[in-house]
Structure formats: structure tokens, C-alpha cells
């Protein structure tokens, strides 16, 4: 009762009218049978699947009376409070084998909707493009065959046009037409243990039915498309990439401990895969997917593994494990390796906060000794540190003309070098001493002769302490106050 009331809320109709959305029926469905709906393409968030099948925004129960469809989504979506309650009350279920079997075996008319392309297909979500990751997806075909449920292809024209913002700003998705077309059912014979040939035969029928549906409706609902329906699968069986998780908000890398699973073992949601040492503690990494462990990229005991770096491969069938024996990181598609690239860029961005070698060289060129300076624009500290007073425009112009900024006499306030000083400056013909002086090499840290020492590997905890200490001096304001009194000649304190 509560689920039916929630599915019929006017809010869902407002959501569907916003784009607007349309649900198109091309064939009748017998309520005495069970069905497995395949929704394509995945898009960014599969908004058409949620609205047209998960709610009554477009009167699904009136178009297909007697069909009780359950939308299946990732198990992780049920870990979020409130959102989990919304999904459960709308009738959503986790996309696991047990959920599929329970729904399809609970009586006539009970059906499921699956988005087979998954996250891999969402990375091909560009407006007007219909690239599907489907040829290696046999899991939903096998579920349908084992229960004798008919396969129903569904094409959503405009799903890949969904975005994050309305037009170029705002917080709402793009307002673009989304038309969901439900195709003709493909009859399936019930087989308890189907062979690979039988599954491939039904998959071919499904792909043909999907292409026929697309070709019949494309001119009507996608006249300005940028491409035709294509399948962009790779040569390896269906799999998912296991990446190094971020088990704490500040974690950027970690150390792999002992693997609790070996290649070929079956994985179910909640199983502990491997122990991971974070920047704060040692924790167990629990997998939230099901399948079989097909490949391990990083062995236990490896330290400094960046977050989002691939650590293993999970496949759907135990028969597919052998196919990944020669699988390497080079075989990952650009979509599968995108997370690692983003993580690498983030780490590079953090490293760039420190001066680069080029910046250090520029700083060294600007530094001169007191004897080389003729003007009042140079201030020399107690330890020989040099500070040059010049405007940004003057520094840029001097760098452009190749002048030594320290050799220019400033006429601005307090001897500050301004742009006019650089323009009127005439360099001498003698080369500057700073250019002739060779760059001094930093002394190497070597132990004194006759003294023995031992290098002790730094622990993860001490590394984090050192990192946080450095950040406290670099990223935060530090004020050094010099206090003088009769009892203590001088006292330094840092605020």
C-alpha cells in the first residue's frame, strides 16, 4: 500500500514533465509471464529507468497491466540512509543473483529491470551517441533462461543527453526530451543449466531485437543523433576492476596487507578481500560486488599504493578466470583507468604546491649578494637571505628582456623597482657575476668515516606525522614573535 502511494506521488509527474519524458509501448506483454527488461543506454544516472519504471510518472501499470516490475540497482545504494529508505519503498532491489531469483520465482507478472551496461557504459554517455557495452554481458541472459522469463529490450532516446546542470548553470539536469521505448518480448525456454552456446544464441536474438527497436524508432525520436547503435566491448569477458579504496577522508595512499582471497575464489558482498593499512589504522577491505577473483595486480605487503590504483579483477563466471591469466594493466580500457588518472592528477596537484625546479632557478637568479647590489631595493637578512623590492610588472618585463632585476636601481617608494625603471635601464656589456657563478651542489648526507649506521624504514604512522607537520608550516600562517625582558634577553615563540 505504502509503495503504491509513493510511486503515484505528483512529484514524479512534475519530474517527468520537466524534461519532458515519454514512455512508448510497442508491443503487448502477457501478465501471466515473467520478464527481464534490459535498459539501454546507462547514461549518467539512468534517470529514465528510475522515473518510468520505478514510479508511476508515466503510468507504467496502465500501459502494462498485471506487470509488477522491480528496478535493480547497486547494493551500495542501500548503504545511504534516507536514500535507501526511498529506494526500498519504491520497490527497488539490489542487483544480485539472489534478488533476481526471488523476484522471478514469486509468481506471474513479477519482473525485473536491469541496466546491463553498468558503470563502464556510463563513461560513453555523450549526447546523441548510442555506444553500448553489451556483447560480453551474459549474466542477465542466464537469469532469464534459468527462469524462463522473456527478454524485453528497452531503448531510451535522450538518456545520454542528461547532464549535471541546467543549460550552463544551476543545479538541475539539462531539459532535453527523453523517450523510453519498450520493445517486443523475446521468448526464452526455461533451462536449469544452459550451455554457453545456448546463452550466446539468446544473446544474439536479444541484440537483434534491440537493433530492430532502435532502427524503427530512431528517425522519430532521435533525428539529430550523432551516431548509430554500436557495441564497444573489449575482447575479455565481462569484468569489473577492483581499485585501491579510500578508507578515510584524508587517505591518498596505503599499504596492502594479506589477501584473504586467492585467484578463482568466489566473492559475495561483505567478504573481506584484503587488509589495508591507511594513514590512521589497519582495516579490512570488504567487497560490495559478487563474482570471482580473476586477477591480482598488487601482491600483499606492497606499500605506498595510491588510491584508485587497480589492485585486482573480478569476473562474473568461474569459467572466465582463466581468460585473465595474461591480463595486465595495459589491457585496461581508458574508461577503466580514468579513476587512476584522476588520482594521479590530484597527487601531482598537491606536489605542485612546493616550488618546482624551474621556479627555484628563477628565485636563485633573483637572489644577489649585498656587494652586487647598488640600489636601495635590496634587503639582506641576518643569515644572508636577500629580498628584492619590485613590482610584478617590473619583474615580468625584466624577465622578458633578460635583465637581472637586482642590477636595476629603483626609483619608486623606498627604492622599489617599477616598470619605468626597467624600461630606462641600460645593461652593461660585462656579464653578471651571478651568471658566471656555477650552481653549487648540495652536500651529500654521508655518515662520518668509521661510524656505522642502519637505515630503518619509516612506518606509515611516522610518515603521516611528518607530512602533517610539514603542512602545518607550509599551508597555515605562522607568526614568529621576538619577546625581550629583563629576565630573558630574548624569547622566540611561534603563533
Query: Domain-by-domain residue ranges, the chain?
Result: 2-231, 239-351, 357-424
User: How is residue 116 written as a grid cell?
Assistant: 546491463
C-alpha distances in angstroms, 456 versus 127, 295, 470?
55, 33, 21
- Among 82-86, 464-468, 476-480, where is mean pLDDT lowest? 476-480
Q: How far apart are CA 118 and CA 101, in angstroms?
A: 20
Q: Does the pTM exceed 0.75?
A: no
- The predicted structure's pLDDT at residue 64: 95
Q: How far apart are CA 24 and CA 469, in angstroms?
A: 61
Whether 58 contacts 21, CB under 8 Å: yes
Whether 472 contacts 458, CB under 8 Å: no
- 460 backbone dihedrals φ, ψ, rounded to 5°: -60, -40
Question: How many C-beta neighbours within 10 Å does residue 44 have?
Answer: 15
- Round the CA-based radius of gyration of the chain to a whole number and report it: 33
**Domain 239-351, CATH number (from 2.40.50.100, 3.30.70.260, 1.10.150.20, 3.40.50.1370):** 2.40.50.100
- Among 186-190, 192-196, 310-314, 394-398, where is mean pLDDT lowest? 394-398
Q: How far apart are CA 127 and CA 173, in angstroms?
A: 13
Q: What is the pLDDT of residues 283-323, one digit of tens each?
A: 888 888 889 999 999 998 888 899 889 999 998 888 888 88
Q: What is the pLDDT of residues 397-443, one digit of tens each?
A: 888 788 888 888 888 777 788 888 888 888 765 444 444 444 445 55
* Percentage of the chain exceeding pLDDT 90: 36
Number of continuous H segments (helices) and E segments (strands) in the chain: 15, 21
Q: How far apart are CA 50 and CA 41, in angstroms?
A: 13
- Answer with the residue of higher pLDDT: 245 or 487: 245
Sign of CA dihedral 78, 82, 88, 91: negative
The separation between CA 316 and the C-alpha centre of its own chain, rounded to angstroms, equals: 22
Q: How far apart are CA 428 and CA 332, in angstroms?
A: 59
Class of domain 357-424: few secondary structures
- The predicted structure's pLDDT at residue 57: 94
C-alpha distances in angstroms, 414 versus 58, 91, 378, 488?
75, 75, 10, 34
Given a cut of 50, is residue 238 above it in pLDDT? yes
- The predicted structure's pLDDT at residue 151: 96
Whether 129 contacts 108, CB under 8 Å: no
- The predicted structure's pLDDT at residue 482: 63
- Cα atoms in the Cβ-side hemisphere of radius 13 Å centred on 41: 28
Q: What's the first-to-final CA gap in the chain, in angstroms?
A: 63
C-alpha distances in angstroms, 305 versus 301, 340, 441, 467, 471?
10, 11, 32, 17, 21
- Average pLDDT across the chain, whole number: 79
User: How is residue 46 written as a grid cell?
Assistant: 539512468
Q: How far apart are CA 246 and CA 483, in angstroms?
A: 45
Q: How far apart are CA 251 and CA 467, in angstroms?
A: 12
User: What 3-state class would DSSP assign to 94?
Assistant: strand
At 390, the pLDDT band (50, 70, 90 cuts) reads: confident
- 151 backbone dihedrals φ, ψ, rounded to 5°: -90, 135
Q: What is the pLDDT of residues 247-297, one digit of tens each?
A: 877 788 888 889 999 999 999 888 899 999 887 778 888 888 889 999 999
Given a cut of 60, is residue 325 above it in pLDDT? yes
How is residue 170 annotated by DSSP?
S
> Following DSSP, what letter does each residue of 298-322 receive, concatenated?
S-TT---EETT-EEEEEES-GGGGG
User: What 3-state class would DSSP assign to 235?
Assistant: coil
Q: How far apart are CA 479 and CA 494, in angstroms?
A: 6
Q: How far apart are CA 125 and CA 112, in angstroms?
A: 23
- The predicted structure's pLDDT at residue 363: 46
Angle, vertex CA 328, rays to CA 324 and CA 329, nearest 5: 130
Give the length of the chain: 495
Count Cβ neighbours within 10 Å for each residue of 310-321 and write b for 16 or more, e otherwise: bbbbbbbbeebb
Q: How far apart are CA 44 and CA 94, in angstroms?
A: 18
User: How is residue 292 written as a grid cell?
Assistant: 570471482
> Following DSSP, what letter does each residue of 331-352 receive, concatenated?
GS-TTTTHHHHHHHHHHHHHHT
Q: What is the pLDDT of residues 438-476, one digit of tens each?
A: 444 555 556 566 667 777 777 777 777 888 888 877 777
Q: What is the pLDDT of residues 37-59, one digit of tens each?
A: 999 998 888 889 999 999 999 99
Q: How far apart are CA 386 and CA 379, in angstroms?
A: 6
Mean pLDDT of 178-192: 94
- 158 backbone dihedrals φ, ψ, rounded to 5°: 105, -5
- Among 164-173, 331-340, 413-422, 473-482, where is mean pLDDT lowest? 164-173
Mean pLDDT of 350-358: 50
- Answer with the residue of higher pLDDT: 374 or 411: 411
How is residue 78 annotated by DSSP?
G
Range 2-231 classified under CATH 2.40.50: no
User: What 3-state class would DSSP assign to 180?
Assistant: strand
* Percentage of the chain exceeding pLDDT 70: 76
C-alpha distances in angstroms, 179 versus 113, 184, 416?
17, 16, 67
- The predicted structure's pLDDT at residue 432: 46
Amino acid at each position: 500500500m505504502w509503495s503504491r502511494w509513493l510511486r503515484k506521488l505528483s512529484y514524479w509527474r512534475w519530474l517527468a514533465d520537466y524534461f519532458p519524458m515519454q514512455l512508448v509501448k510497442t508491443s503487448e506483454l502477457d501478465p501471466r509471464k515473467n520478464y527481464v527488461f534490459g535498459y539501454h543506454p546507462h547514461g549518467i544516472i539512468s534517470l529514465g529507468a528510475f522515473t518510468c519504471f520505478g514510479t508511476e510518472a508515466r503510468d507504467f501499470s496502465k500501459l502494462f497491466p498485471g506487470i509488477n516490475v522491480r528496478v535493480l540497482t547497486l547494493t551500495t545504494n542501500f548503504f545511504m540512509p534516507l536514500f535507501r529508505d526511498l529506494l526500498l519503498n519504491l520497490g527497488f532491489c539490489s542487483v544480485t543473483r539472489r534478488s533476481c531469483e526471488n523476484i522471478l520465482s514469486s509468481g506471474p507478472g513479477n519482473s525485473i529491470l536491469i541496466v546491463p551496461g553498468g558503470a563502464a557504459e556510463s563513461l560513453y554517455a555523450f549526447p546523441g551517441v548510442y555506444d553500448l557495452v553489451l556483447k560480453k554481458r551474459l549474466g542477465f541472459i542466464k537469469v532469464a533462461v534459468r527462469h524462463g522469463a522473456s527478454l524485453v529490450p528497452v531503448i531510451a532516446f535522450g538518456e545520454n543527453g542528461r547532464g549535471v546542470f541546467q543549460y550552463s548553470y544551476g543545479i538541475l539536469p539539462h531539459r532535453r526530451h527523453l523517450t523510453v521505448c519498450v520493445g517486443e518480448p523475446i521468448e526464452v525456454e526455461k533451462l536449469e543449466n544452459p550451455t554457453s552456446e545456448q546463452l550466446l544464441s539468446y544473446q544474439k536474438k536479444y541484440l537483434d531485437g534491440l537493433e530492430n527497436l532502435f532502427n524503427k524508432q530512431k528517425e522519430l525520436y532521435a533525428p539529430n543523433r550523432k551516431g548509430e547503435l554500436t557495441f564497444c566491448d573489449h575482447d575479455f569477458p565481462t569484468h569489473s576492476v577492483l581499485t585501491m579504496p579510500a578508507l578515510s577522508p584524508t587517505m591518498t595512499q596505503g599499504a596492502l596487507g594479506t589477501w584473504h582471497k586467492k585467484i578463482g575464489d568466489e566473492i559475495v558482498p561483505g567478504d573481506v578481500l584484503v587488509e589495508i593499512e591507511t594513514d590512521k589504522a589497519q582495516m579490512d577491505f570488504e567487497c560490495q560486488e559478487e563474482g570471482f577473483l580473476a586477477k591480482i595486480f598488487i601482491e600483499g605487503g606492497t606499500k605506498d599504493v595510491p588510491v584508485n590504483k587497480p589492485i585486482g579483477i573480478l569476473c562474473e563466471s568461474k569459467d572466465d578466470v582463466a581468460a585473465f591469466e595474461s591480463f595486465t594493466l595495459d589491457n585496461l580500457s581508458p574508461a577503466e583507468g580514468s579513476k587512476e588518472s584522476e588520482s594521479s592528477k590530484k597527487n601531482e596537484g598537491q606536489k605542485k604546491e612546493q616550488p618546482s625546479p624551474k621556479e627555484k632557478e628563477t628565485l636563485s637568479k633573483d637572489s644577489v649578494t649585498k656587494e652586487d647590489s647598488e640600489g636601495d631595493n635590496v634587503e639582506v637578512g641576518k643569515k644572508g637571505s636577500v629580498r628584492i623590492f619590485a613590482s610584478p610588472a617590473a619583474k615580468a618585463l625584466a624577465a622578458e628582456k633578460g635583465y637581472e632585476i637586482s642590477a636595476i636601481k629603483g626609483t619608486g617608494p623606498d627604492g622599489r623597482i617599477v616598470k619605468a625603471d626597467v624600461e630606462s635601464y641600460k645593461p652593461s656589456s660585462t656579464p653578471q657575476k651571478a651568471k658566471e657563478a656555477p650552481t653549487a651542489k648540495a652536500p651529500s648526507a654521508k655518515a662520518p668515516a668509521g661510524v656505522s649506521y642502519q637505515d630503518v624504514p619509516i612506518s606509515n604512522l611516522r610518515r603521516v606525522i611528518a607530512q602533517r607537520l610539514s603542512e602545518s608550516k607550509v599551508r597555515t600562517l605562522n607568526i614568529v614573535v621576538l619577546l625581550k625582558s629583563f629576565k630573558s634577553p630574548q624569547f622566540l615563540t611561534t603563533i
